[in-house]
Every structure is written in C-alpha cells, then in structure tokens.
Amino acid sequence: MGGKPGYGVVTDGGIVDLGTALGDRYADLRSLLAAPEGLARAREYAAGRKADAAFEEVGYLPVIPNAAKIFCIGVNYADHLDETKLRSAAHPTVFLRYAESQVGHQQPMLRPRESTQFDFEGEVALVIGRGGRRIAAADAWQHVAGFSCYNDGSVRDWQFHTTQWGPGKNFAASGAFGPWMTTADEFDLNTTPLTLTTRLNGDVVQQSDTSLLIFSVPELITYCSTILPLAPGDVIVTGTPGGVGMARRPPLFMKPGDAVEVEVSGVGKLRNTVEAD
C-alpha cells in the first residue's frame, strides 16, 4: 500500500494493513507465519479495526512473494491423468516453480514470444505454516497455514522439450497465485472438500474438488517433507483437474487479451488477463 510492498488482513470492507503496524517484528507474511504467535497477533490487531485500504486501492503480489520452495504436483486428478495418456504412478509427480515465475491477482500473465501454446491450469495451493521434516500424514494438517488459488500457466511445447517439465513451468510471469490466503481453520476438508473452477473468458473449462485428488493433502505434505524440510511460507500446489487446453480438440490455449479466473470455494477468485511478453 502507498506504493510499498506489504501484507494485511482481508475484511468485508477492505484490507487492514499489518505491514506498517507489525513490520518491525514480522517483515512479511512469511515471517509472520514463522512466528508461533504470528497469526494470533495479526487477528488480535485487526479485530474491530477499520480497513486501511479498499480492495481497488491496492496492487496484488503473489500470496507468498518470496517463497523458498514451491512444490507443484502433476497429474493429481484421475480425469487429468486420463486426458494426458500418462500412466498412474505409485508416488506423486513433483516439479518445482521459482517465485519469479509468478504474478499476483489482477496482474497480467505473460505469454512468451517463443510460444503460442500457453495453457491454463487451475489449482488449489496450500501454504505451510509450521515447518518440519518427514511429517507424518496423521500430523500433516497441523502444518497447513491456509489455502489459496493458483494458475499453473504452462508453456506446453517448452514443457515437453524433454522429460523434465521445468522449462515450460517457469517462464517469467507465467503463473499466478492469489488473491489471498484463507487460513486453514476456516475449513474441514474431511467433510467439505474445496471446489475448484477455472474459467476462460467467462466459460467454465475446469471444475472439480479436492475429494478427487489422487494423492491427498496429507500425503503430499508427507512426501514433500521427506525430500527437504518444509518451512513456513513454503507452498504446495496440489494439481490440476481435467479440461486443460492441450487435451482439447482443437487445443484451447490462452492468448493475449484473454481473461482467466481460478475460483476456490471459501477462498476467493484469482483473476488475470493475458498479455504478450
């Protein structure tokens, strides 16, 4: 706010600025999550306080702009597995994104000049709030700070240059993460899964829910934390359902001038336009 990066609490009336009030102790959302009392302190400060800015008065960064690790999970819905013609795997398919490859809500996603095969992938992202190594599935929910919307924009021809997907998943400003994080205590995914909907120019192109994940949230946390210790502010992007553009006949890719939305029930709606790089 005021032309400076910050973070805050979303209310019905707008955003309560936490960066100015708590920045001397918690420089950003990642450091707030790392403090055991951080979220409670933020709630305490924001309770009953009027918003410092309306939603239209701020620009949006990715929810965690400086995430140390962004684990992305491939082919984690059965219908997406079927449409890709890939074989079912005994373990999650994991690739990594870099923070520089993301933009925030209402920021343009860039189709690179090297390709016209720019595809949408609506996903549910989870943010780690409590770190750990080799986290047991039974304990995994204690490590989740909250959930957000994610568009794993994919440059398909570059993705499949080799068997390694990294190049097609990391073009500058090709992914989107936002608009905000809704804390995990707002949900009980055991009884009410999160519904995921992707729209391209207003048309629904993907729709599913987290009960249909092949590898569940606890399984993903266990697997990823076995590779490296998870830290507060790390992100796991849980996979996209069927309906992606490359699997359609004819293919449906995003192009400059398009508008794409990823909506997650109980979280919000991530909206981006597409521009040429």
Domains of the chain in sequence order: 8-57 (no CATH), 70-276 (3.90.850.10)
Residue among 98, 150, 125 at smallest CA distance from 221 = 125
Q: Tokens standing for 235? A: 């992100």
Residue 167 φ then ψ, to 5°? -60, -45
User: Quick one: pLDDT at residue 243?
Assistant: 96
Say what the pLDDT of residue 25 is. 93
Residues of the chain scoring pLDDT < 50? none
Q: What are the residues facing 204 on neighbouring strands?
A: 199
Of 230, 191, 195, 228, the residue nearest 213 (C-alpha) = 195
pLDDT, position 87: 73
Q: Which two three-digit tokens encode residue 147?
A: 């959930």
Phi, psi of 264 (to 5 degrees): -120, 125
Q: What pLDDT was estimated at residue 59? A: 96
Contact 232, 145 (CB under 8 A): yes
Residue 2's pLDDT is what? 66
Element (DSSP H or E) covering residue 29: helix 29-34
| pLDDT tens digits along 108-118 | 999 999 999 99
Task: Quote the pLDDT of residue 98.
Answer: 98
Report pLDDT for 86.
Answer: 76
